[in-house]
Amino acid sequence: MVGRRRFLGDLADMLGARQEQELVAVLVLRVPHIHEININYGYELADQVISEVQARVANALRDCDTVERLDESSFALVLPRLHGGAQAELAAAKIIQACKPRFIFGEHELSVQLAIGVALYPSDALDAAALLRCAELAAAQATDNPTDYGVYSPALEKRARSIHSYVLERALHEAIARDEIYLCLQPKIDLRSGTLVGAEALARWTRHNGEVVSPDIFIPLAERSSLIVQITMWTLNAALRSCGDYFERFPGFSVAVNLSPIALGDPDIFDFVSQAASIWCTDKCQLTLEITEGALIEDPEAAIAILDKFHSESIRLSIDDFGTGYSSLSQLGRLSVGELKIDKSFVMGVIDSERNAKIVRSVIDLAHNFGMTVVAEGIEDIETLQFLAGLGCDYGQGFFIGRPMTLDVFETWAAERAAEMSSAPAV
């Protein structure tokens, strides 16, 4: 077995040395039932099956073609010097034909199914790794239809993505129980004094296999499958529990939890949130809920009603990503919201773009006219921080101040910040 890494190295060398007009095909050939053969007949017979497949394949190929074992159940074939894709398909059809006669080993007679995927260089991919991936994707398609071979097409990418999100969605169901979800806190400071005034709670997911799944992927997945309420409750409880100490050490500290539109529409959300705040907070304004502008537009009346309920409990409310959702001014006046959070897309360009600067200035004025405070997210440098402070923006959050941090890193950051503040009371 050469293994994947060596195969890719050899393939890259070969692609580099090819003639200008030459097409190269990579075929991935899988023996999908090899594990069943292993279980039913033992690994020795399974090994014999693999060797026999390799021999029959080699027999069906030209001298210049190569066949290498990739792993327990698959081979990679390289077919150089082709004139068109049809030649690669012909080879796939020949291999299927060659493996049709039953395999006979002593008293055992087996028929062996194959799944073959075909990809072409340079039309499908421009490097060895991408080419192998295309062929594997095509083979996965063929596994659903084992009498045939699959040819790579960009349409397979969409299907692969939907399979991937299905697999992820299932894994997400178990992620909380398996402790794969954890919390990060990103600091929020007062732009005039530089003191820590709160943190945004951001969920993170690292799967058991080490894959890090971005919240931009798993939050929408959770929304599709009603898991969002579970994740919101987990984040809320974890955030309030972890911040108990900060509520005492930093007067006015409030932890912000994101409430997605679907979570906001859940009939039990108010009771859940209110109960969690009763358990963990000495004052419910220690909790801020961030609600995106989009959530207010979909069903404004329902949103206004639930926001009023949170407000009557003294829970703070902030409109997240403000400026991206076109909410109307008349609506803004009716909301019991204390804070607008200017979207990072405006903040990040505020120094270079006069348009962004105008938007940011208007949002600050608008918020102050309605008696709200303003927080700018996405502050990545000192110039932006100083510019916003000069415009009268109240609070700031962003990589320049502090990235989202795991709880122990945040603890160190907060302690250092407090020490700096006591020796120099301005930013």
Site residues (CB under 6 A) for ligand C2E? 186, 202-203, 214-216, 219, 232, 235, 258, 260, 290, 320-321, 344, 377-380, 397-399, 404
Q: Which stretch binds Ca ion (CB under 5 A): 26-34, 41-49, 226-234, 290-298?
A: 290-298
- Give the other-Cβ count within 10 Å of 230's Cβ: 17
Is there binding between residue 339 and Ca ion (CB under 5 A)?
no
Pick between residue 190 and residue 290 the one whose CB is nearest to Ca ion: 290
Closer residue to ligand C2E (CB): 73 or 258: 258
CB of 377 to ligand C2E, least distance (A): 6
Backbone phi and psi for residue 115, each to the nearest 5 degrees, phi listed first: -125, 120
258 binds Ca ion (CB under 5 A): yes
Q: Is 132:11 a contact under the CB 8 Å cutoff?
A: yes
Contacted entry of Ca ion, ligand C2E, none for residue 378, CB cut-off 5 to 8 Å set by kind? ligand C2E
Question: Which does residue 190 touch among Ca ion, ligand C2E, none (CB within 5 to 8 A, set by kind)?
Answer: none
At 49, the amino acid letter reads: V
Report the partner that residue 216 touches, choosing among Ca ion, ligand C2E, none (CB closer than 5 to 8 A by kind): ligand C2E
Q: Considering the rule CB under 5 A, would residue 68 count as an interface residue with Ca ion?
A: no
Nearer to Ca ion, 23 or 277 (CB): 277
Phi, psi dihedrals of residue 33, rounded to the nearest 5° = -100, 15
C-beta closer to ligand C2E: residue 136 or 377: 377
In this structure, how many other beta carbons lie within 10 angstroms of the beta carbon of residue 318? Answer: 25
Nearer to Ca ion, 119 or 255 (CB): 255
> Residue written as tokens 């996405």?
378
Rounded to a whole number of angstroms, the CA Rg of the chain reads 29
Q: In angstroms, what CA-CA distances link 130 with 8, 11, 163, 219?
A: 10, 11, 19, 28
User: Crossing angle, helix 85-98 and helix 43-60, to 10 degrees?
Assistant: 140
To the nearest whole angstrom, how small is the minimum distance from the Cβ of residue 333 to Ca ion?
22
Alpha helices in 124-189 (DSSP H): 128-143, 155-175
Q: In whole angstroms, how close is the CB of 380 to ligand C2E at the nearest point?
A: 5
**Which one among 321, 350, 359, 385 touches Ca ion, defined by CB under 5 A?**
321
**Smaller CB distance to Ca ion: residue 50 or 276?**
276
The verdict on 190 binding Ca ion (CB under 5 A) reads no
Helix, strand, coil abundance in the chain, percent, nearest 5: 50, 20, 30
Nearer to ligand C2E (CB atom), residue 150 or residue 398: 398
- Residue 122: is the preceding peptide bond cis (ω within 30°)? yes
Min CB(334)–ligand C2E separation in Å: 23
Long-range contacts of 391-396 (CB under 8 A, 24+ apart): 391/360, 391/361, 391/364, 392/364, 392/368, 393/191, 393/342, 393/360, 393/364, 394/190, 394/191, 394/192, 395/188, 395/189, 395/190, 395/191, 395/197, 395/198, 396/188, 396/189, 396/191
Q: Which residues pair with 200 in a beta bridge?
A: 186, 256
Least distance from C-beta 364 to Ca ion, angstroms?
16
Indicate the residue among 136 and 320 with the shorter CB distance to Ca ion: 320
254 binds, among Ca ion, ligand C2E, none (CB under 5 to 8 A by kind): none
Nearer to Ca ion, 68 or 321 (CB): 321
Residue from 157, 234, 198 nearest 338 by CA: 198
Q: Closer CB to ligand C2E, residue 202 or residue 304?
A: 202
Binder of Ca ion out of 65, 124, 190, 290 (CB under 5 A): 290
In this structure, are residues 149 and 96 in contact, taking their beta carbons and an 8 Å threshold? yes
How many chain residues are in contact with Ca ion, going by CB under 5 A?
4
Task: Please return the burial class of 217, using the count of CB atoms within 10 Å of its CB with bins 0-12, 13-18 and 19+.
Answer: middle
Per-residue contact flags (x/-) with Ca ion for residues 212 to 251, judged by CB under 5 A = ----------------------------------------
Segment contacting Ca ion (CB under 5 A): 69-77, 220-228, 314-322, 411-419? 314-322
What span, in angstroms and rounded, lies between the C-alpha atoms of 180 and 49? 40
Q: How many CB atoms lie within 10 A of CB 221?
A: 18
At closest approach, how far in Å is the CB of 354 from ligand C2E?
21
What does the binding site for Ca ion look like in residue numbers (CB under 5 A)? 258, 290, 320-321
